[in-house]
């Protein structure tokens, strides 16, 4: 880097003083894109905070010398810090931009599932055939009337059987090769975020449908790629893609459209319907318009979980039987409104309790149901994961939506 260039830290970084030695600060990547945390001195930490894309290295050096009371600080100290940050993927520089420019999104959920294809296929089969699973999918039914499905995005170890119930119905009753996967955004800062990247897993690469994406951008407008980086660590799309690959491997050339949806907390806070928010209204209209222009069947996967309760999520009390029973009753009422295909009533139940149970599936579920308005829904499977010591509980369900 030349002395006239302006180094800039990349987004989604965090820092904390080193517990073992207060003379140092540990930097880490909240998106887990950087391979490991980076340890810098307190002095270096002050310098790197000047890497804002506006100051040259010479200007950073001059400011640092001023803070040090005129002590000589060779420029090499700053260039070496830039090199260290660049190599660690903490700088908005060539290494990081190359990662963003890669047309293939590498898997981020290895560990939730095996890296070896044969082992992954065995895991998938076991989720269908295990004690709580629905059995392996049958051949597709003659009546192919399924339009959308709500599927969990919790890890397979806790929610795999519920995934299987949903995907069995998808395989048997959906007649599509184009899957629009609309999932909860756990990292992004935007309401809606697309990516054009193809998705890679141990079972191969699934292409994104560029024509669909072009038309969605045309009808929605600008901004859908402003936070594309948030797709890289996100699991809510990837965990659905693995099931699709397993089910349609060597059978159908599937394509996907990966769309992440950020929180609806602003609507909950102001008491307004989500469809009164201009960006949500635009997305609903855009999804409808693109479907009307598409000559082949489209299947929609809603990737979302239900309640997140317990101390892990900020609640004061450990999860015990009465709390679980109450949460399950609230989930049942919520799922009934989804079965009725009433997205407004679904939202109101969550808003009325100020989303205290943190229903992360609200944004994708509301968006899809409002956009496509299927005829009816059917609950396929429901479950609650409960931590053995009551630290947390997460609930989730699979639901099918028919014409």
Other Cβ atoms within 10 Å of 222 Cβ, number: 7
Other Cβ atoms within 10 Å of 305 Cβ, number: 23
Q: What is the CATH code for 105-402?
A: 3.40.830.10
Q: Label the pairing between strands 192-194 and 178-184.
A: unpaired
Residues 6+ apart with CB under 8 A from 175: 140, 144, 297
Q: Report residue 332 as tokens.
A: 């049942």
Q: Label the pairing between strands 298-303 and 146-151.
A: parallel
Give the start-to-end residue ranges of the domains of the chain: 13-100, 105-402
Q: How far apart are CA 309 and CA 316, in angstroms?
A: 10
User: How does DSSP assign 27-64, residue by residue?
Assistant: EEETTS-SSS-EEEEHHHHHHHTT-BSSS-HHHHHHHH
Beta strands (DSSP E) in 96-239 are: 104-105, 146-151, 178-184, 192-194, 198-201, 204-208
pLDDT tens for the chain, 403 residues: list them: 555 588 999 988 999 988 888 889 999 998 888 888 999 999 999 999 899 999 998 988 888 888 877 788 889 988 999 999 999 999 998 888 888 889 999 999 999 999 999 999 999 999 999 989 999 999 888 777 999 999 999 999 999 999 999 999 999 999 999 999 999 999 988 999 999 999 999 999 999 999 999 999 999 999 999 999 999 999 999 999 999 999 999 888 999 999 999 999 999 999 899 999 999 999 999 999 999 999 999 999 999 999 999 999 999 999 999 999 999 999 999 999 999 999 999 999 999 999 999 999 999 999 999 999 999 999 999 999 999 999 999 999 999 999 9
Which 8-state DSSP code applies to residue 52?
B
Q: What are phi and psi of 397, to 5 degrees?
A: -150, 160
Backbone torsion region of residue 154, taken as left when φ is above 0, otherwise alpha when ψ lies between -120 and 50, otherwise beta: beta
Other Cβ atoms within 10 Å of 148 Cβ, number: 26
């Amino acid at each position: 880097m030349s002395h006239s260039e302006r180094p800039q830290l990349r987004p989604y970084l965090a820092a904390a003083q080193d517990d073992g030695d207060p003379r140092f600060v540990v930097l880490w990547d909240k998106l887990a894109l950087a391979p490991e945390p980076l340890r810098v001195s307190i002095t270096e930490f002050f310098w790197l905070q000047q890497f804002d894309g506006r100051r040259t290295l010479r200007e950073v050096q001059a400011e640092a010398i001023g803070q040090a009371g005129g002590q000589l600080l060779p420029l090499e100290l700053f260039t070496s810090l830039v090199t260290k940050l660049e190599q660690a993927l903490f700088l908005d520089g060539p290494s990081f931009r190359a990662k963003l420019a890669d047309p293939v999104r590498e898997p981020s959920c290895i560990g939730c599932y095996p890296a070896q294809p044969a082992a992954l296929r065995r895991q998938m089969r076991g989720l269908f055939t295990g004690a709580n699973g629905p059995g392996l999918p049958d051949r597709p039914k003659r009546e192919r009337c399924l339009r959308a499905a709500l599927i969990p995005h919790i890890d397979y170890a806790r929610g795999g059987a519920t995934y299987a119930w949903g995907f069995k119905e998808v395989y048997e009753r959906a007649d599509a090769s184009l899957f629009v996967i609309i999932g909860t955004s756990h990292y992004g800062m935007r309401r809606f975020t697309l990516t054009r990247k193809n998705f890679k897993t141990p079972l191969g690469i699934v292409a994104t449908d560029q024509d669909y994406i072009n038309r969605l951008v045309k009808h929605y407008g600008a901004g859908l790629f402003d936070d594309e980086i948030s797709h890289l660590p996100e699991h809510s799309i990837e965990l659905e893609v693995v099931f699709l690959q397993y089910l349609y491997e060597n059978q159908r050339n599937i394509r996907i459209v990966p769309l992440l949806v950020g929180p609806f907390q602003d609507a909950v806070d102001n008491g307004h319907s989500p469809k009164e928010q201009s960006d949500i209204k635009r997305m609903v209209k855009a999804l409808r318009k693109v479907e009307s222009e598409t000559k082949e069947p489209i299947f929609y996967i809603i990737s979302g979980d239900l309640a997140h309760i317990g101390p892990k999520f900020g609640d004061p009390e450990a999860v015990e039987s009465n709390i679980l029973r109450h949460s399950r009753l609230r989930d049942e009422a919520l799922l009934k409104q989804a079965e009725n295909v009433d997205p407004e009533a679904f939202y109101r139940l969550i808003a009325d309790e100020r989303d205290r149970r943190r229903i992360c599936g609200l944004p994708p579920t509301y968006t899809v149901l409002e956009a496509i308005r299927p005829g009816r829904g059917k609950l396929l499977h429901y479950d609650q994961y409960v931590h053995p010591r009551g630290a947390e509980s997460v609930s989730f369900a699979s639901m099918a939506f028919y014409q």
